[in-house]
Structure 1
Amino acid sequence: MQKYPFQITTEILNLVAEICELTGQLSTHSKLNNSPQLRRTNRIKTIYSSLAIEQNTLTLDQVTAVISGKRVLAPPKDIAEVQNAYEIYDRLDTLDPYSVDNLLLAHEVMTRGLVDESGEFRSRSVGVVDNHGNVLHVGTLPAYVPGLVSELLDWVKNNPRHILIKSCVFHYEFELIHPFADGNGRIGRLWHTLLMSKWNPIFAWLPIESMIHDRQEEYYRAFNVANVAEDSTVFVTFMLEAIRDTMLEVIDGSVTVKQSKSEKAATRENTVMNYLNNNGEITNSDVRKLLNVSVATANRILNTMVEKGLIIRFRSGRSWAYRKR
């Protein structure tokens, strides 16, 4: 029996191939390679989103201010979470992703001054809870945690599967073990990023956590489905899609276009309206193909057009579609 059950589906293989292709594009052409400001912006988005998933109350502007050393009126705990997260993400390239000691160090920095067992595996039983307070899973008994974490890191290091797949499996299995009293989600997402960044450094600067934050309900649902099935395939697929879509958004934002933002938005809206003139209705998938954008960008375009009164949304079968008002 496979130690960490998951299936290598055609969808997963296609996602890995697509991500590999996008990695080449980002490594060759992206502004991430020569824009410290863009990297900093993405890092701030990453920290804001990962903490927001765990109910941190600071806005993106407030997180930016804290990282810039400015005074912010907010709960001290939330400010400390931002400062700690920024410190450990800034040290990402110094961490060994297969070291238990480094994992504990990351937890110590991430939770410094915030939890009793900072930098230590938990000594009591805990459960995995979604953002509605529903218990999704009861963590491993404390006595087994150190050994299971060590085994998991060894598996990721030595298994021949592609690191894109292994890092997603790690993310799921790490949350299943739930090795810390607090901070498991933050550390799990950090370590997922670390594992991928050792394959290609570009992943250290991609705000994948921002996409997870946007799809938080799906994130928890994928974990829950995988937990019930005792197989992480659904979660691995979800995470690969989130990685792929994050990369598409970064590429979309990095393309040099002489149009202003308003001109670009108008061009896209005109393209959508022309499509509707010829076809009557349009879906998110149609917009993605039509404009070569990600799922999130297509949603943003369509929602903006709805707000402007250009189109209306309606139920078409099991999904949503849009038509002219």
Structure 2
Amino acid sequence: MTPEIQDRVAAISDAIRHLTVLTDQARMLRLRRANRVRTIYGSLAIEGNTLSEAQITAILEGRRVIAPPREVQEVKNALSAYDRFEIWQPEIEKDLLEAHRILMTGLIDEAGIYRHGGVGVMAGRQVIHMAPPAERVPQLMGDLFSWLTTTDAHPLIASSVFHYEFEFIHPFADGNGRMGRLWQSLILARWNPLFADIPVESLVFEHQNEYYRALQESTRLTDSAPFISFMLRMILAAVSVSVPQDAPQVSPQVSKLLTVIRGEMSREALQSVLGLSDRKSFRRRYLLPALADGLIEMTLPDKPNSRLQQYRLTDKGRQWLKQYGDG
């Protein structure tokens, strides 16, 4: 326990309390769905899956997606696994084996059972971690579950320790990374159900190199503190972006503009898709207010009058569209 770890535990706890008292159920349901997609996208992207959030959403809705069959299977498996969050207990070993079976069905032969051979973690051609021998895995995992059952550590700490030790043991032939992240989320969800839909994995994906460095540093020091500190930083960031903000005061005209922007579009293209012919009215009622609120931006901000000027959504605009748009 370092001062930094203690501060982050306190900050996450405060943020979760704020998120818990929100009562706008419709907004939260929409946010939960978006976060579930982000969670699965982040966790699978770390493992090399190339499907986008839009494609994962399509699979979630039962629509056909043209993509490599293995990657589609990975998404379907992950959706099935996260649907079982309310059933599994993080202290029960057979639940972890079932989760691995669901996550890896159709992907490997040893789905749902501990590995029978040696494994190592590679960085390119370099082995950065040799996992314990296969014959030791059942005992090591049994010890880890016994610790999880009896520890009085805060769930934020306990979940991070479990995650680190799980990755050190590397108990499965494949799927260890996604299982470690899944089980940390499950431990956290038993502390507060909101964690079932907080996209910690998407933040880990954005800081993937740091994730692996933190694992290596904890192994080098034989101290899980570096990994705990890293994960708490990711959890705090994920909780912070999951708190729905009050909706900006957006006019009907700006709302319409935000819903029609696709990538980068010129003024002429935007007017055309909106069915507007009056250039001055479009600029005054649609374009300028959206720019002023930071919901869209120019592709050439230093040349506002350029004939090549186009407009695109900002992060703020995309977030508004996710939470308050009709799509």
- TM bracket, shorter-chain basis: 0.7 to 0.9
1:224 shift after superposition: 1.3
Q: Secondary structure at the match of 1:254?
A: coil
Q: Which amino acid aligns with 2:138?
A: P
Identity of aligned residues (%): 41
Aligned mates of 2:188, 2:290 — CA distance in 1: 33
1:257 shift after superposition: 2.9
Query: Are positions 1:39 and 2:60 aligned together?
Result: no
Which of these residues, 223, 240, 257, is aligned with residue 248 of structure 2? Answer: 257
1:77 shift after superposition: 0.6
Q: Which residue of 1 aligns with 2:178?
A: 186
Q: Which residue of 1 aligns with 2:75?
A: 82
Query: Are positions 1:141 and 2:133 aligned together?
Result: yes
Aligned mates of 1:77, 1:11 — CA distance in 2: 41
Provide, for residues 241-289 of structure 1, a one-character-per-residue CA deviation record: whole Å limited to 9, x for no partner.
00001111112x43333246896874579xxxxxxxxxxxxxxxxxxxx
Structure 1 residue runs of 5 or longer lacking an equivalent are: 1-7, 270-300, 311-325
Q: Which amino acid aligns with 1:75?
A: P
1:167 shift after superposition: 0.4
Spell out structure 1 runs of 4+ moving beyond 6 A.
Answer: 304-307
Aligned mates of 2:23, 2:126 — CA distance in 1: 40
Q: Which residue of 2 aligns with 1:292?
A: none
1:31 shift after superposition: 4.9
1:133 to 1:94, Cα distance in 2 relative to 1, 3 A: farther
1:136 shift after superposition: 2.1
Q: Which residue of 2 aligns with 1:10?
A: 3
Query: Are positions 1:72 and 2:65 aligned together?
Result: yes
Provide, for residues 81-139 of structure 1, a one-character-per-residue CA deviation record: whole Å limited to 9, x for no partner.
00001001011110010111000000000000110100000000001234x45432111
Q: Which amino acid aligns with 2:53?
A: L
Q: Which amino acid aligns with 1:237?
A: S
Aligned mates of 1:35, 1:166 — CA distance in 2: 27
Q: Which amino acid aligns with 1:256?
A: A
Aligned mates of 1:249, 1:265 — CA distance in 2: 22
Query: Are positions 1:159 and 2:159 aligned together?
Result: no
TM-score in terms of structure 1 length: 0.77
Q: Which residue of 2 aligns with 1:57?
A: 50
Structure 2 residue runs of 5 or longer lacking an equivalent are: 259-286, 304-327
1:74 shift after superposition: 1.0
1:65 to 1:138, Cα distance in 2 relative to 1, 3 A: same
1:58 shift after superposition: 1.1
Query: Are positions 1:177 and 2:172 aligned together?
Result: no
Q: Which residue of 1 aligns with 2:235?
A: 243
Query: Are positions 1:108 and 2:124 aligned together?
Result: no
Q: Which amino acid aligns with 1:155?
A: W
1:308 to 1:9, Cα distance in 2 relative to 1, 3 A: farther
Q: Which residue of 2 aligns with 1:3?
A: none
Aligned mates of 1:30, 1:255 — CA distance in 2: 12
Which of these residues, 191, 197, 202, is aligned with residue 189 of structure 2? Answer: 197
Provide, for residues 212-259 of structure 1, a one-character-per-residue CA deviation record: whole Å limited to 9, x for no partner.
1111111111111111111111110000000001111112x4333324
Q: Secondary structure at the match of 2:128?
A: strand
Q: Secondary structure at the match of 1:212?
A: helix
TM-score in terms of structure 2 length: 0.76
**Which protein is bigger by CA-based radius of gyration?**
2
1:63 shift after superposition: 1.3
Q: Secondary structure at the match of 1:88?
A: helix
Q: Secondary structure at the match of 1:35?
A: helix
